[in-house]
Amino acid sequence: MNRFDYVRPSSVSEAVAAGAEPGSAFLAAGTNLLDLMKGGIARPTRLVDVGRIPGLDAIETLPDGGVRIGALVRNADLAYHQEFARRFPMVAEALLSGASAQLRNAATTGGNLLQRTRCPYFYDTASACNKREPGAGCDALAGENRQHAVLGWSEACIATNPSDFAVPLAALDAVVEIEGRGGRREVPLTDFHRLPGDTPQIETVLAPGELIVAVRLSADAAAFAGHARYLKVRERTSYAFAVVSAAAALRIADGRIEAARLALGGVALKPWRAREAEAALAGASPGFESFQEAAALALAEARPSGDNAYKIELARRVIARALTLAAAGTPERLPALPGSPFASGGSLHD
């Protein structure tokens, strides 16, 4: 690990000023950043520790009925917050589907959104990776790429976004609050992460020194609480990133779908919002045919990036299954292993 300076600001404004200096990186729990530094993938010359800044670790109910989640709220604290889990159950289900209990006790809201891809070529400094070294090429294109992107990828990068948490946030129109030297701004979560294009090294819309301070969900998002599920398919049941995942939420009245929200994980370098599928579901009767049609629309633009053609069919099936689970109603007790199609039993609040 390279030598680096360490600073601990006491306010957001101090953090932003320190983070704007060349070579700086923000540190909260460090569950991803420290691994990247040890592997020589990230080489910051200054760490700006934002983990003790007051006011960023609160879960607040807003006057309009929405919720504001501070950037330093721990994943486990949010998932087990009973009022939050009741109103936004598929977000809690996604959080409990990610990583291990130890990591969830440390990882933060802001850090989760900023975690880097788990593409093995990105982590192997002997491999060519445009994300790690712009212009080097992408060894994943002709390499072991069964886990790579089928949507939104380019010849420069076929990596995927690893976050479970971000998938239901994208489906529910979450907003990211960002503080920078020019003040505060807000960005829809669906616009926060960038597709690779020709510049895969630029992963988000954050400018140098900008800091995530909170994520907001509206009261409208809570209206989907009765029919909302997160389904994750992975190569092993626990402690694994998604091969494909889906966050599905419905509003159902008089036997018809009034509105739908659908997003996919594991298929692109950002959570993939399936808006055409949502539009097709509105007004439809919940059932096999309408869910199959939505799944086909969601993957209409998908194309293999090597040996991963199976992911397209898998994603269609995961969507149909997630919608079927959502239509059946959000369970009062989440399974012991949330997000797994094989899970049963257990309680969110145990």
Higher pLDDT, 346 or 344: 344
Round to whole Å and give the CA distance between 295 and 318. Answer: 8
Kindly state the tokens that stand for 1: 């690990």
- Whether residue 323 is contained in a domain is answered as yes
At 144 the pLDDT is 97
Round to whole Å and give the CA distance between 90 and 330. Answer: 9
At 346 the pLDDT is 38
State residue 265 phi and psi, 5-degree precision: -120, 160
At 209 the pLDDT is 95
DSSP codes joined into one string, 130-155: TTTSTTS-BGGGGSS-TTS-SSS-BT
Sign of CA dihedral 66, 70, 71, 72: negative
At 342 the pLDDT is 66
pLDDT(258) > 80? yes
- Whether residue 255 is contained in a domain is answered as yes
- Whether residue 275 is contained in a domain is answered as yes
At 340 the pLDDT is 74
At 337 the pLDDT is 72
pLDDT(345) > 60? no
Domain count, the chain: 1
Question: Which band of pLDDT confidence, cut at 50, 70 and 90, is reported for residue 332?
Answer: confident
pLDDT tens-digit map of 203-246? 999 999 999 999 999 999 999 999 999 999 999 877 899 999 99
pLDDT(110) > 50? yes
Residue 109 · residue 76 · CB < 8 Å = no
Round to whole Å and give the CA distance between 98 and 84. Answer: 18
pLDDT tens-digit map of 139-172? 999 999 999 999 999 999 999 999 999 999 999 9
Q: What is the pTM assigned to this prediction? A: 0.95
pLDDT(347) > 80? no
Residue 196 · residue 153 · CB < 8 Å = yes
CATH code of the domain in which 322 resides: 3.30.390.50
pLDDT tens-digit map of 175-199? 999 999 999 999 999 999 999 999 9
Question: Which band of pLDDT confidence, cut at 50, 70 and 90, is reported for residue 334?
Answer: confident
**244-253 and 228-233 beta bridge pairing:** antiparallel
At 2 the pLDDT is 84
From 46-60, 277-291, 304-318, 321-335, the region with the lowest mean pLDDT = 321-335
- If you average pLDDT over every residue of the chain, what do you get? 95
- Whether residue 26 is contained in a domain is answered as no
Question: Could you tell me how many residues make up the chain?
Answer: 350
Average pLDDT over residues 33-37: 96
Sign of CA dihedral 108, 111, 113, 117: negative
Kindly state the tokens that stand for 173: 């129109």
Please, what's the largest Cα pairwise distance for the chain? Answer: 63
pLDDT(41) > 70? yes
Residue whose tokens read 């091969």: 243
Cα dihedral 32, 36, 41, 44 in deg (nearest 10)? 90
Residue 98 · residue 132 · CB < 8 Å = no
DSSP codes joined into one string, 151-163: SS-BTTB------
Q: Which residues make beta-bridge pairs with 27?
A: 49
At 349 the pLDDT is 37
Residue 121 · residue 195 · CB < 8 Å = no
183: exposed, middle or buried (Cβ count in 10 Å: 0-12, 13-18, 19+): exposed
- Whether residue 54 is contained in a domain is answered as no
At 348 the pLDDT is 35
- Whether residue 249 is contained in a domain is answered as yes
- Whether residue 92 is contained in a domain is answered as no
At 146 the pLDDT is 97
Residue 161 · residue 117 · CB < 8 Å = yes
Domain of 240 in residue numbering reads as: 225-328
- Whether residue 295 is contained in a domain is answered as yes
